[in-house]
């Protein structure tokens, strides 16, 4: 299986970039993993939120293949503890999913088009985080999940 983290807009904080790169390298020891960054949109006062979300939706849809299994990182999604997330990944691997794509939306969230395309959504917390910080949190949790799956001593219970 291959896992992709698909993100809207670049990460502009150096400390976040460094953390994401650290976990990206670690994750690649377990699975084929890539991070794809799509161009963000500029906020325009005279446009509604839906009008702002649609250009991002078009980019996301274009970046996906029809057979991709798409999981939105969204506060309305299913919540897991770290072991539960590891089980979630194990089930996807066991099902033979070839490409699992986790999507982090832009600052205004996802359009209805993206919710319809998604196969599932996962919440990393009931709290709201910036779309940049969630990238680091997700990367760490993905790494943690693989250490749990492999029985390695990173995660303590």
CA dihedral 149, 137, 43, 39 (to 10 degrees): -50
Supply 157's token pair: 């219970």
Please report which residue ranges of the chain form alpha helices under DSSP H: 14-27, 49-63, 82-94, 112-117, 133-149
Q: What pLDDT band is residue 107 in, cutting at 50, 70 and 90?
A: confident
Burial of 67: CB neighbours in 10 Å, binned 0-12, 13-18, 19+:
exposed
For 49, half-sphere exposure in the C-beta direction (CA atoms, 13 angstrom radius) is 7
Specify the range with the lowest mean pLDDT, choosing from 71-80, 132-141, 148-157. 148-157
> Domain residue spans in the chain?
2-149
Q: Which two tokens stand for residue 139?
A: 């990367």
Q: Are 73 and 122 in contact (CB under 8 A)?
A: yes
Rounded to an integer, the average pLDDT of 59-65 is 96
* Record: fold of 2-149: Alpha/beta knot (3.40.1280)
- CA 116, 118, 119, 124 torsion: positive or negative? negative
Look-up of token digits 């299994």: 69
Tell me the percentage of the chain whose pLDDT exceeds 90.
75
Q: What is the pTM of this model?
A: 0.94
The yes-or-no verdict on residue 109 having pLDDT over 90 is: no
pLDDT tens per residue across span 10-38: 888 999 999 999 999 999 999 999 999 99
Residue 105 or 118, more confident: 118
Q: Look at residue 43 in the predicted model and tell me its pLDDT.
A: 67
């Amino acid at each position: 299986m291959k896992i992709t983290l698909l993100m809207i807009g670049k990460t502009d904080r150096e400390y976040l970039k460094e953390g994401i790169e650290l976990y990206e390298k670690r994750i690649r020891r377990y699975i084929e993993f890539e991070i794809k960054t799509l161009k963000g949109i500029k906020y325009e006062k005279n446009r509604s939120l839906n009008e702002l979300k649609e250009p991002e939706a078009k980019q996301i849809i274009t970046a996906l293949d029809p057979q991709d299994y798409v999981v939105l990182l969204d506060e309305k999604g299913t919540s897991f503890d770290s072991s539960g997330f590891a089980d979630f990944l194990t089930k996807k691997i066991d099902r033979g999913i070839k490409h699992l794509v986790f999507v982090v939306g832009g600052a205004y969230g996802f359009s209805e088009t993206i919710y319809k395309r998604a196969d599932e959504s996962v919440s990393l917390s009931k709290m709201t985080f910036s779309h940049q910080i969630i990238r680091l949190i997700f990367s760490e949790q993905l790494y943690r999940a693989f250490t749990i799956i492999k029985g390695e001593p990173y995660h303590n219970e």
